[in-house]
Amino acid sequence: MDAAEAGKARVASLIQDVEKSYDDEFQQLVHTLPKEEGWVSGSLYLYQGFWWSSLALKPMISFQTHFQAFDSDVIVVTFPKCGTTWLKALTFSTLYRDRFARDEHPLLASTPHQLVRHLEYDVYINNPCPDLENICVYKPRLLATHVPHASLPTSIKDSKCKIVYICRNPMDMFISLWLFSNKLRDENQESLSLDKVFDKFCRGIHILGPFFDHVLEYWNASQENPDKILFLKYEDLKEDMNSQLKHLAMFLGVPFTVDEERQGVVEEIANICSFEKLKELEVNNKGLHTSGVPHKDFFRKGKVGDWSNYLTPSMVERLEKLIQDKLDNSGLTFKFSSKISQDENVGFA
Ligand code: PAP
């Protein structure tokens, strides 16, 4: 069995196991929730205004109920397929850069997802009260989640811990999610057609959807409290990694020194975390993540604007309208192409 087949089998069996593990109380809760067919196996449940997979719902509620934040914690929050893998690598490499020698960078031996553990898709999956002190080898603790702002554990909101959020233009995010979901579908499931999932996406029925609600919650919270939440965009990282990295380091309270800048530390971090570098490392090409996803499936094309190879003009038109409706007056804009021109900006800069 190759990694792709092993991944499909693992995802399907994990979802079955998790669903079987629902106790009576949880079953009762689940029965009250609106339900839709998932894009992979299992179902999507609408919980606190967002669609959760049957795999992550229970662990997310454990996380929400039991997690105690420290003031020193750093939480990477992402919308799925918006740069989770990349931001984990960048934040880890920036925050802990004085802990390892350059030629012994932990990213050479572990995947970004192993170094920055995901709360609901990893650490809380098999354990409602995981030992986070042991799980987080380096301190301050650095962890990741997709949880919407309104559903964050109170201690994250009330403490001084920092949140780094990343999102991406919804067209590239959607295509990435569609292709990723198709890779993970069971052998006996048909591939998801673009038409069918596009309509679901526009109606917000997808993992952690609606996309715009998730993004706007964090956008508004970051505007209100910029010292607490750093709001990043995938396209900005692609366009100007060095200044984005300096901004990240400053936000985390570990600004690059003049000496570090002279020595090229910023460029080194950008380089080791780059799509090209991570994609070719052996560690990212073998094995499965705790959620069953083959590690290599977190790396596909890593480009801005790939949506133009898939979306039809009428799909683009529908999405542009949706973007305008949702983001109007929010001050949030997206870039849709790596060669930015005024025409290619929707949302609108
Ligand atoms: P997740 O939310 O499921 O953990 P996430 O890492 O956000 O996944 O999404 C994967 C996307 O990020 C893929 O995009 P694509 O399908 O459009 O190609 C993947 O290629 C891209 N990606 C992964 N690592 C990097 C990186 N180092 N630099 C840029 N893009 C990356």
Could you tell me the CATH number of the domain that includes residue 292? 3.40.50.300
Q: 318 in a domain, yes or no? A: no
Q: 294 in a domain, yes or no? A: yes
Whether residue 62 contacts residue 29, with contact meaning beta carbons closer than 8 Å, is answered with no
Q: 346 in a domain, yes or no? A: no
Q: How confident is the model at residue 349 (pLDDT cuts 50, 70, 90)?
A: very low
Helix (H) or strand (E) holding 328: none
- Rounded average pLDDT over 189-205: 95
Question: What integer best gives the mean pLDDT of the chain?
Answer: 93
Long-range contacts of 240-244 (CB under 8 A, 24+ apart): 241/270, 242/266, 242/267, 242/270
Whether residue 245 contacts residue 90, with contact meaning beta carbons closer than 8 Å, is answered with yes
pLDDT confidence of residue 286? 93
DSSP 8-state secondary structure symbol assigned to residue 119: I
Q: Is the CB of 45 under 6 A from ligand 1?
A: no
Number of structural domains found in the chain: 1
Residue 4 pLDDT > 80: no
Expressed in angstroms and rounded, the spacing between residue 64 Cα and the centre of ligand 1 is 26
More confident residue, 67 or 13: 67
Q: How confident is the model at residue 341 (pLDDT cuts 50, 70, 90)?
A: very low
Cβ-Cβ contacts under 8 Å for 158 (sequence gap 6 or more): 69
Whose CA is closest to 41, among 66, 71, 9, 84? 9
Q: 84 in a domain, yes or no? A: yes
* Choice from 81, 174, 207 to test ligand 1 binding pocket (greatest atom count within 8 A of CB): 81
Catalytic residue among 105, 113, 118, 146: 146
Q: 313 in a domain, yes or no? A: no
Q: Is the CB of 86 under 6 A from ligand 1?
A: yes
pLDDT confidence of residue 344? 44
Residue 337 pLDDT > 80: yes
pLDDT confidence of residue 14? 77
Q: 266 in a domain, yes or no? A: yes
Range of the domain at 213: 3-303
The answer to pTM > 0.85 is yes
Expressed in angstroms and rounded, the spacing between residue 307 Cα and the centre of ligand 1 is 14
Q: 88 in a domain, yes or no? A: yes
Q: 73 in a domain, yes or no? A: yes
Q: Is the CB of 53 under 6 A from ligand 1?
A: no
Q: Tokens 């607490």 belong to which residue?
A: 228
What is the C-alpha separation between 149 and 95, in angstroms, rounded? 23
Q: What is the dihedral of CA 205, 223, 153, 124, to 10 degrees?
A: 60
